[in-house]
């Protein structure tokens, strides 16, 4: 258990349950109403340019397909470093996110093209279902770290969570965190689409933070719904309140379903109004996406030259 | 890098859509006429103090003319119009309001000072919805539970307030027309412009002349209307003080009135509430429409065990309220409607401080021109403070505490008003228990300030007589119905 | 020859039968001028006490189950039935009507109590409802009793007039202060005896006898009184009563029909409750 968690719980299943069950509930309609209201905020054009660049720098550019190949991953890495080859002022993305066996490919290639500062994130612990023994999950994570992953996106055992085995979920996160140590940042994927209720999202967020997560992440991208604004709102509220409780800033990563610049900016507005602008940095907010990057780039072009862009002018990957 | 990225504002809605005349007459018998009084007064934009237009001061002669027009229209046309045709006029009005929604939203924001986000998302769509809803009733009144042959009163005098000018017009005019009455409407002195634009909608809808008459003016105009000998019914929304005066003035005449008056709603937060949504609900309860809401949750009753945490969250949320240009789409809190209202808010706030409550206002810069008041809360308030008893009608929240659910109910009901109340708890049986205990006509549990044409609205005790909206609201315009 | 035990006609306040605190009474004679009784001439202080009793009884009575209220009203009908002869005698004596007319009045009154007894648990069903609002909320409206209602009894048919006024007021859960007919007060006090033996909680109905012109202004201006049935007051007083009632915006009605749902609903308030729907 993390040192911070120690102050709030004693590590026993019962103390964990007492803590989580004592959290205030989330009223669905109210939370969705708040998220929708924030969705109507519009930002001015000059701010929008900076918001787009910020969003680009927060993208965890992701490919998680059975059909992934070293070639596909390398071209994604190139795009991560220079999202718009015609405009080198565009910042690089937040990270590359791939399956385990592609970590080394990505790391090596990034290093070879000057992308040393771009971290490689590996989805781990029997992603996306998490249905494997703990031994396998640990080995999976170890493998990713050894291959050069500096960020681990683990999944929680949703089955255990839904059947009330909070201690089991907690212990798994704790063990993976111990394995990550100083070598890798740990992002804990809650798979909110399977948790079904906002109350569960809040509980799982706290559970992950108490167990030592550096980031809490909405989804694997394999389950719908994924990173809806209200889900992200609830997670941001948890992060905000956890900070008030412990003084520790935990990051948030929505992933899945964020495809347009408008979607991305709505997410940034949620951050700004909930945790505040301190969280508006890739260190504390990431967006897991693939198609989003091109939309951000096209909007960026529109802002700079005043014309709506075409897909012909952005690279496919 | 990040802090200034979200300078949302300004994202102003264009004013170009609104084409104001420099002067307006009275809308009587389907036509614009000059006032007999020969007097005009200015309607200003409370956010800038600029004059928007000159409107007519209706006097007794004007009122008489309007009542005569309404009477003639009732006798000759409207009472002979088939219910299903009446319905179609109302449907037309609903559609026309939807078509011109943007225009109404901008004008309402200009004339009233309320944020465009609210006029766009609440006032105007709800107004259209009210007409659409009541349109459907027009030819189904015999199914409404008021007998087989429900009859209208005839000519209805309607006086509406400045806080929701178009919406209150819709609440009044739609059910009156649906049930077969004709109308003389007096809009509020400071916010007559959307009602005058509504006159154009009546023309576009080809509503028969005299069915809706609009006489602008001040309190004297309203008094002339209420005291007119040939009206059959009065419907008023406004202050309890004026409501009582109206009740007194019609006491001898045997004509009925619906009165929708003041409130001092308690918004009660229990320790098992969904806290984040409760914070939003409190914010919405008191800062929606600058707190110019009769059903505002102007008293926050907090369970003592959560006071500190809750207030911390509330204050940090209040600090994010965006105060300023009502036409900016990102504005949450607009201008106070008038200089008079602002001084009333200030006077009551000062009494709060004098009586020993602690004031806290959200840090925000207020525009130099216009009428503004920051989002404000008073803590350490007791039932004995004026700010816990009197309606402030502004963005000022009084925070009181309680120890047990019983004590919360006792404090919530300890007021001559009885319009609204809020309950925040995740425990279902406690919600139903509290809803049963509270003496208020509208109770929002785990939500606040929600309105719908199908939902009756109105108060207990000194908050008024009768209901508006829903099947129950129809009774106000059907002879002898209850 | 046996000397009759004459009844002392007193007030009915909070379940007890006090004399007027003022010590006053007035002489009641039959049509032939024979002495009948000295009913209490209630004072404004008696009225005040009656309102206090009614207010105190409101919470319990309004939160009793509708079924329970219905049973108690029905019990009153039962008690009335068994005391028919007493009421017939009193009506004959004071109203100077024939036995059959008096008997008809008593029977009609009993039937009217039965009718309103059956209403108690139907009011919400017929007059409340759920409202189909445009949003994820459950929304319902229910009628609730107003509070303390003043009833001014009819001057013509004593028992029936009281029943028309009282039964619709209390079946929904209001409590009442009745100002009895000045001329025909006996049925009112005898009805109090019926109430006292019908499990009607104390204070739900309070009955004052005496001078209407003296008591009505105090009742109309009393800030704890929420509604008034003025069907039994002289019509020319309507304006005065209504003006007196505006200070707390009393709901004041005069009814044409003898028995109607409207008489019940006039002394209810609609309460609308919203709640979000969601998991």
Q: Tell me what the mean pLDDT of segment C47-62 comes to.
A: 98
Active site residue A44: no
Q: Is the pLDDT of residue A216 over 50?
A: yes
Q: Is the pLDDT of residue A239 over 80?
A: yes
More confident residue, A234 or C1: A234
* pLDDT for the residue numbered A5: 56
Cβ contact, residue pair C238, B252, below 8 Å: yes
The alpha carbon of residue B115 is apart from the nearest alpha carbon of chain C, in Å, by 22
Rounded to a whole number of angstroms, the CA Rg of chain A reads: 19
Question: Which residues on chain C are in Cβ contact (under 8 Å) with B442?
Answer: 271-272, 274
- Confidence band for C204, pLDDT divided at 50, 70 and 90: very high
Q: Is the pLDDT of residue C30 over 90?
A: no
Distance, CA of B270 to CA of B404 (rounded, Å): 9
Q: Tell me the average pLDDT of chain A.
A: 95
Cβ contact, residue pair C271, B254, below 8 Å: no
* Interface contact B467, partner C, CB < 8 A: yes
Q: Is the pLDDT of residue B472 over 80?
A: yes
Closest CA to A157 of A170, A140, A169: A169
Active site residue A248: no
Q: Specify whether the CB–CB gap between B422 and B267 falls below 8 A.
A: yes
pLDDT in tens, B174-202: 999 999 999 999 999 999 999 999 999 99
Of these residues, A157, A253, A263, A266, which one is catalytic?
Answer: A253
Q: Tell me what the mean pLDDT of segment A215-223 comes to.
A: 97
Cβ contact, residue pair C279, A28, below 8 Å: yes
Of these residues, B118, B294, B295, B391, which one is catalytic?
Answer: B294
CB contacts under 8 A, B 247-276 vs C, are 247-248, 251-252, 254, 259, 261
- Alpha carbons within 13 angstroms on the beta-carbon side of residue B344 total 14
* pLDDT for the residue numbered A227: 96
Q: Is the pLDDT of residue C69 over 50?
A: yes
CATH 3.40.50.720 fits A3-302, yes or no: no
Distance, CA of A221 to CA of A288 (rounded, Å): 8
Cβ contact, residue pair A29, C279, below 8 Å: no
Distance, CA of C138 to CA of B148 (rounded, Å): 30
- Confidence band for A6, pLDDT divided at 50, 70 and 90: low
Q: Is the pLDDT of residue A260 over 50?
A: yes
Q: Tell me what the mean pLDDT of segment B17-21 comes to.
A: 94
* Range C192-214 burial, b when 16+ CB lie within 10 A, else e: bebbbebebbbbbbbbbbbebee
Distance, CA of A173 to CA of A248 (rounded, Å): 17
Q: Is the pLDDT of residue B1 over 80?
A: no
Q: What CATH number does the domain located at C28-276 have?
A: 3.40.605.10
* pLDDT for the residue numbered B38: 96
Q: Tell me what the mean pLDDT of segment B463-470 comes to.
A: 98
Question: Which residues on chain B are in Cβ contact (under 8 Å) with C249?
Answer: 240, 243-244, 247, 259, 261, 461-462, 464-465
* Interface contact A235, partner B, CB < 8 A: no
Give just the sign of the alpha carbon dihedral B313, B315, B320, B321: positive
- Confidence band for A237, pLDDT divided at 50, 70 and 90: very high
pLDDT in tens, C145-203: 999 999 998 888 999 999 999 999 999 999 999 999 999 999 999 999 999 999 999 99
Q: Is the pLDDT of residue A1 over 60?
A: no
Q: Specify whether the CB–CB gap between A278 and A246 falls below 8 A.
A: no
* pLDDT for the residue numbered A277: 93
Q: Tell me the average pLDDT of chain C.
A: 96
Q: Is the pLDDT of residue A317 over 90?
A: no
Q: At A87, is the secondary structure helix, strand, or coil?
A: coil
Q: Tell me what the mean pLDDT of segment A73-89 comes to.
A: 95
Q: Specify whether the CB–CB gap between B285 and B297 falls below 8 A.
A: yes
Indicate the burial class of B260 (C-beta count within 10 angstroms; 0-12, 13-18, 19 or more). Answer: buried
Q: Is the pLDDT of residue B90 over 70?
A: yes
Q: Tell me what the mean pLDDT of segment B472-481 comes to.
A: 96
Q: Specify whether the CB–CB gap between A122 and A149 falls below 8 A.
A: yes
Q: Is the pLDDT of residue A301 over 60?
A: yes
* pLDDT for the residue numbered B3: 47
Share of chain C above pLDDT 90, in %: 93
Distance, CA of B336 to CA of B332 (rounded, Å): 13
The alpha carbon of residue C137 is apart from the nearest alpha carbon of chain A, in Å, by 8
Q: Specify whether the CB–CB gap between C160 and C108 falls below 8 A.
A: yes
Cβ contact, residue pair C279, A30, below 8 Å: no
Query: Across the interface, which of B251, B455, B480 has its CB nearest the CB of C243?
Result: B251
The alpha carbon of residue B291 is apart from the nearest alpha carbon of chain A, in Å, by 18
B interface with A, Cβ–Cβ below 8 Å: 1-11, 117, 121, 272-277, 280-281, 312, 320, 329-330, 426, 446-447
* Interface contact B443, partner C, CB < 8 A: yes
A184 secondary structure, DSSP code:
-
Of these residues, A177, A187, A217, A266, which one is catalytic?
Answer: A217
How many residues are there in chain B? 482
pLDDT in tens, B163-180: 999 999 999 999 999 999
Helix ranges, chain C (H): 44-63, 66-82, 84-95, 99-119, 123-127, 158-171, 186-196, 212-221, 238-245, 261-265
Closest CA to B21 of B43, B49, B47: B43
Cβ contact, residue pair A28, C278, below 8 Å: yes
Q: Is the pLDDT of residue B2 over 70?
A: no
DSSP C86-129: HHHHHHHHHH---HHHHHHHHHHHHHHHHHHHHHTTTHHHHH-E
pLDDT in tens, A87-122: 999 999 999 999 999 999 999 999 999 999 999 999
- Confidence band for C254, pLDDT divided at 50, 70 and 90: very high
C147 secondary structure, DSSP code:
S
pLDDT in tens, B405-447: 999 999 999 999 999 999 999 999 999 999 999 999 999 999 9
pLDDT in tens, C161-176: 999 999 999 999 999 9
DSSP A109-152: HHHHTT-TTS-EEEEESSTTT--S-HHHHHHHHHHHHHHT-SEE
* Interface contact A312, partner B, CB < 8 A: no
- Confidence band for B134, pLDDT divided at 50, 70 and 90: very high
């Amino acid at each position: 258990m993390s040192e911070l968690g120690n102050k709030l719980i004693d590590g026993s299943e019962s103390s964990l349950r007492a803590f989580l069950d004592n959290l205030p509930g989330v009223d669905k309609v109210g939370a969705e109403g708040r998220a929708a209201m924030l969705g109507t905020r519009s930002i001015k054009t000059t701010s929008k340019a900076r918001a787009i660049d910020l969003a680009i720098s927060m993208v965890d550019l992701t490919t998680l397909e059975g059909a992934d190949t070293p070639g596909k991953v390398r071209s994604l890495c190139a795009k991560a470093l220079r999202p718009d080859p015609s405009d080198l002022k565009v910042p690089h993305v937040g990270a590359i996110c791939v399956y385990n066996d592609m970590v080394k490919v990505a790391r090596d290639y990034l290093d070879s093209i000057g992308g040393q500062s771009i971290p490689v994130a590996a989805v781990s612990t029997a992603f996306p279902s998490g249905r494997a023994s703990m031994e396998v999950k640990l080995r999976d994570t170890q493998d990713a770290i050894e291959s050069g992953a500096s960020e681990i996106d683990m999944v929680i055992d949703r089955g255990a969570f839904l059947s009330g085995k909070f201690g089991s979920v907690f212990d798994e996160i704790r063990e993976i965190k111990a394995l990550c140590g100083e070598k890798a940042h740990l992002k804990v994927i809650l798979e909110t689409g399977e948790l079904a209720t906002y109350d569960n999202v809040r509980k799982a967020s706290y559970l992950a933070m108490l167990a030592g997560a550096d980031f809490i992440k909405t989804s694997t991208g394999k389950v719908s719904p994924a990173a809806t604004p209200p889900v992200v709102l609830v997670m941001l509220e948890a992060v905000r309140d956890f900070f008030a409780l412990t003084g520790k800033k935990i990051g948030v990563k929505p992933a899945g379903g964020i495809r347009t610049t408008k979607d991305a900016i709505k997410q940034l507005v949620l951050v700004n109004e909930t945790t505040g602008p301190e969280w508006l940095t890739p260190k504390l907010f990431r967006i897991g996406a693939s198609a989003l990057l091109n939309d951000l780039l096209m909007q960026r072009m529109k802002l700079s030259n005043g014309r709506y862009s075409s897909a012909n002018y952005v690279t496919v990957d | 890098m990040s802090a200034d990225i979200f300078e949302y504002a300004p994202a102003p809605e264009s004013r170009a859509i609104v084409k104001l005349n420099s002067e307006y007459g009275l809308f009587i018998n389907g036509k614009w006429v000059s006032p007999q009084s020969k007097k005009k007064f200015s309607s200003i934009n409370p956010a800038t103090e600029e004059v928007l237009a000159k409107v007519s001061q209706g006097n007794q002669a004007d009122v008489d003319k309007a009542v005569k027009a309404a009477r003639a229209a009732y006798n000759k046309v409207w009472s002979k119009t088939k219910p299903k045709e009446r319905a179609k006029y109302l449907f037309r009005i609903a559609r026309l309001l939807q078509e011109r929604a943007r225009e109404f939203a901008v004008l309402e924001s200009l004339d009233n000072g309320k944020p465009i986000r609210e006029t766009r998302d609440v006032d105007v769509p709800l107004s259209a919805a009210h007409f659409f809803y009541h349109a459907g009733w027009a030819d189904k009144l015999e199914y409404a539970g008021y007998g087989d042959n429900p009859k209208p009163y005839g000519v209805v005098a309607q006086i509406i307030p400045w806080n929701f000018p178009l919406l209150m017009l819709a609440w009044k005019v739609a059910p009156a027309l649906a049930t077969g009455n004709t109308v003389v409407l007096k809009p509020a002195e400071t916010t007559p412009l959307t009602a005058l634009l509504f006159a154009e909608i009546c023309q576009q809808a080809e509503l028969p002349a005299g069915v809706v008459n609009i006489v602008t003016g001040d309190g004297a105009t309203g008094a002339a209307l209420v005291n007119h000998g040939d009206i059959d019914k009065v419907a008023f929304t406004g202050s309890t003080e004026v409501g009582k005066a109206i009740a007194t003035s019609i006491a001898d005449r045997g004509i009925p009135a619906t009165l929708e008056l003041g409130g001092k709603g308690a918004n009660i937060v229990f320790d098992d509430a969904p806290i984040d949504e409760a914070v939003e609900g409190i914010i919405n309860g008191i800062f929606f429409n600058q707190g110019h809401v009769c059903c505002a949750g102007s008293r926050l009753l907090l369970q003592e065990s959560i006071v500190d945490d809750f207030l911390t969250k509330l204050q940090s949320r209040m600090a994010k309220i965006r105060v300023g240009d009502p036409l900016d789409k990102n504005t949450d809190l607009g201008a106070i409607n008038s200089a008079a209202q602002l001084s009333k808010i200030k006077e009551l706030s000062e009494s709060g401080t004098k009586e020993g409550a602690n004031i806290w206002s959200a840090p925000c810069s207020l525009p130099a021109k216009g009428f503004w008041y920051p989002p404000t809360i008073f803590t350490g308030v007791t039932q004995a403070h004026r700010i816990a008893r009197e309606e402030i009608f502004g963005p000022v929240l009084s925070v009181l505490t309680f120890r047990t659910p019983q004590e919360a109910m006792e404090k919530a009901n300890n007021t001559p008003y009885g319009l609204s109340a809020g309950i925040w708890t995740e425990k279902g049986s406690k919600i139903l228990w509290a809803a049963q205990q509270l003496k208020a006509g509208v109770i929002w549990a785990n939500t606040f300030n929600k309105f719908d044409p199908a939902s009756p609205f109105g108060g207990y005790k000194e908050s008024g007589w009768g209901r508006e909206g829903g099947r129950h609201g129809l009774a106000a315009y059907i002879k002898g119905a209850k | 020859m046996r000397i009759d035990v004459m009844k002392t006609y007193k007030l009915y306040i909070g379940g007890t039968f006090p004399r007027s605190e003022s010590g006053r009474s007035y002489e009641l004679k039959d049509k032939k001028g024979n002495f009948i009784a000295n009913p209490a001439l209630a004072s404004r202080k008696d009225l005040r006490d009656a309102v206090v009793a009614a207010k105190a009884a409101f919470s319990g009575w309004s939160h009793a189950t509708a079924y329970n209220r219905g049973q108690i009203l029905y019990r009153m009908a039962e008690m009335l039935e068994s005391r028919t002869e007493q009421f017939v005698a009193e009506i004959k004596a004071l109203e100077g009507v024939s036995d059959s007319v008096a008997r008809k009045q008593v029977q009609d009154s009993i039937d009217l109590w039965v009718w309103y007894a059956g209403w108690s648990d139907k009011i919400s069903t017929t007059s409340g409802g759920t409202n189909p609002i445009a949003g994820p909320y459950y929304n319902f409206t229910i009628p609730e009793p107003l509070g303390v209602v003043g009833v001014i009894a009819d001057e013509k048919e004593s028992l029936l007039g009281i029943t028309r006024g009282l039964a619709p007021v209390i079946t929904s859960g209001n409590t009442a202060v009745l100002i009895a007919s000045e001329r025909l007060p006996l049925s009112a006090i005898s009805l109090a005896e019926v109430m006292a033996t019908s499990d009607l909680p104390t204070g739900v109905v309070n009955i004052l006898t005496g001078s209407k012109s003296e008591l009505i202004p105090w009742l109309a201006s009393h800030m704890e009184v929420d509604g008034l049935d003025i069907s039994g007051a002289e019509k020319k007083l309507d304006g005065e009563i209504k003006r007196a009632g505006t200070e707390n915006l009393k709901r004041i009605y005069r009814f044409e029909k003898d028995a109607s749902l409207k008489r019940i609903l006039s002394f209810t308030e609609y309460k609308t409750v919203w709640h979000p729907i969601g998991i």
